[in-house]
Chains A and B, each alone.
Chain A
Amino acid sequence: MSAFGAHFRMLNAAVLAAFGIPVTFTPQDGSGAQQITGIIQKPAMGEDSLPGSILGAAVVRLFVQFTAIAPAPQHGDAITINGVAYVVTDLDVDTQGGAVLKLRIS
C-alpha cells in the first residue's frame, strides 16, 4: 500500500484511539460477539436522544476501521451500544480502509 494509505491508517488509528467508544459487534456468521471501537458521527437527522442511551437514538452512523475487523461487517450484522441493539442497514466503505456503518435500532 502507498505511503498515503499507510498515513490514513495511522490517522484512523489515532482518531479512533482518541475519540472512539467501545461497541459490541455481533457478526451474523456465528463467530461470536467481539468488542470494536467506533466513533459516532453526525447523523442525517438529529434526534432527541443520545446514540446508545437507554432511549437511544434510532439511527446511528458509526465510523470504524473496516479493514481491522474480522469478519468484515455486512448488512444485517448486530451492533450493541451501551446495551442498545442496532442492526447494520448500510455500509459506506472508503478507499483507505475506514467505513461508516449505518445502524438502525432493532
Chain B
Amino acid sequence: MLNTSAVTDAIVTALKTITDLAAAMTVLDATGATAVRITAFHYLLGQDHRLAEAVYAMPAPSMLVAWEGSKGGNFDGQTIWKHRWGIYYRMGNAAGLAVPVGYEDLWARTCNGATAVAGAAGPNIRNIQIADGLDIMDTPSIDHALDEDLVDRFKAVFIIPEIGDN
C-alpha cells in the first residue's frame, strides 16, 4: 500500500499547477512576498493543529488537503485500495471585486483547469496520474458545509484508487 503522505503533497502540487485556481489562492504574506495558500495537512502531533482546528482556522482565501482514510476491498481484479482526501475551501474576500471568485468558480477551476504536473499544460486533475502507483481519481464530489460560526465553506472529496498493492 502506498504511503498517502506523499500523495497528499502530490495533490497539493497538482492543485498549485492549475493557474487560475492558484491565482485565486495567492496572497501577499507578511513580508510582501506572494504565497499560494494551498497546503497539506499531515496530522503531525506537535507540528500541526488537530484537523478540526486547522480547518476552522483556515485564512481567506485558502485550501487545505488532508488524507481522511483508505478503504480496502476487492474492487476489481487490480484494485484493493481506494484512498480518500478531503479538500477544504475558503474563498477570499469578494468585497469590491468586479470579478469575484466564489466557491462555484473554485470548484470549476479545480475540476476543469489544466494541470502542469510535468511542466507543460496537461489534462485536468481528474484525468492525470497524481503520483506513481495511483490510477486516475474517481469522479470527485463537493458539498456545502457550515463552519462553527455558521459561515459557508465547501469540502471536496477525492477518491483515488491505487494500482495493485504497492
Q: Are A87 and B60 also in contact (CB < 8 A) when A76-B95, A77-B95 are?
A: yes
Mostly, the B contact residues are loop
- Cβ-defined contact, A75 with B59, below 8 A: no
Q: Are A59 and B93 in contact (CB under 8 A)?
A: no
Q: Is A62 an interface residue (CB 8 A)?
A: no
Known A-B contacts A48-B49, A90-B151; A57 and B95 likewise in contact (beta carbons under 8 Å): no
- Per-residue CB proximity of A69-103 to B under 8 Å, as 1/0? 00000011110000000010110000000000010
Within 8 A of A (CB), among B13-53: 27, 49, 52-53
**B92-A106 in contact (CB<8A):** yes
Which residues from chain B contact A76 at a C-beta distance below 8 Å? Answer: 93-96
Q: Which listed residue (A28, A44, A58, A90) contacts B59, Cβ 8 A?
A: A58
Is A16 at the interface (CB under 8 A from chain B)?
no
In chain A, what residue has the closest Cβ to B94?
Answer: A76
Which B residues are CB-close (under 8 A) to A89? 60, 149, 151
* Residues of chain A within 8 A of B149, CB atoms compared: 44, 59, 61, 89-90, 102
Residues of B within 8 A of A75 (CB): 95
Is the CB–CB distance between A58 and B56 below 8 Å?
yes
Count A/B pairs, Cβ under 8 Å: 57
Asked whether B57 is an interface residue with its Cβ less than 8 Å from the other chain, the reply is yes
Say whether A105 faces chain B, with CB atoms less than 8 Å apart.
yes
Which A residues touch B151, using CB under 8 A? 89-90, 102, 104
When chains A and B are docked, how far (Å) is the Cα of A102 from the Cα of B148?
11
Residues of B within 8 A of A47 (CB): 49, 53, 56-57
Residue among A43, A47, A61, A89 with the highest chain B CB neighbour number at 10 A: A89
What are 11 A-B residue pairs whose CB atoms fall within 8 Å in the complex?
Answer: A28-B95, A44-B149, A45-B52, A45-B148, A58-B58, A59-B148, A76-B96, A89-B151, A90-B149, A102-B151, A106-B93
Q: Which residues of B does A touch, CB under 8 Å? A: 27, 49, 52-53, 56-60, 90, 92-96, 147-151
